[in-house]
């Protein structure tokens, strides 16, 4: 049995198989660029450094990290609800 015959014998919706009835997506959704991952990473770094250095740095890092996460999730949620039409 050849590989093509084996692939044809698999159920139609099994991952990794060619399914002629399944159509590719018409549009690809790409999220808009944002600074929030960088802000979150800086907040995490300050939080971890603040644990060893000073509580003020730890609190500042925690506030920056939480702000970055909340803003990032807000932007993703807004982009998911109303994706931008000028992607391409």
The three-point CA angle 37-39-45 to 5° equals 100
Sign of CA dihedral 3, 5, 10, 16: positive
What does pTM read for this prediction? 0.60
pLDDT digits 0-9 by tens, 61-72: 999 999 999 999
* Residue 88: per-residue pLDDT: 44
Residue 47 to residues 61, 69, 84: CA-CA distances in angstroms?
Answer: 4, 14, 34
Residue indicated by tokens 């890092």? 61
Taking the domains of the chain in order of start, what are their residue ranges? 35-77
Q: Which of 27-36, 50-59, 77-86 has the highest mean pLDDT?
A: 50-59
Residue indicated by tokens 């999730």? 73
* Residue 33: per-residue pLDDT: 83
Task: Tell me the pLDDT band of 87, cut-offs 50, 70 and 90.
Answer: very low
């Amino acid at each position: 049995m050849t590989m093509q015959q084996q692939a044809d014998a698999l159920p139609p919706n099994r991952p990794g198989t060619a399914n002629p009835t399944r159509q590719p997506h018409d549009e690809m959704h790409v999220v808009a660029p944002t600074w929030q991952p960088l802000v979150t990473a800086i907040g995490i770094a300050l939080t971890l450094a603040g644990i060893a250095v000073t509580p003020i740095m730890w609190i500042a890092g925690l506030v920056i990290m939480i702000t970055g996460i909340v803003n990032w999730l807000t932007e993703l949620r807004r982009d998911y609800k109303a994706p931008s039409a000028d992607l391409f």
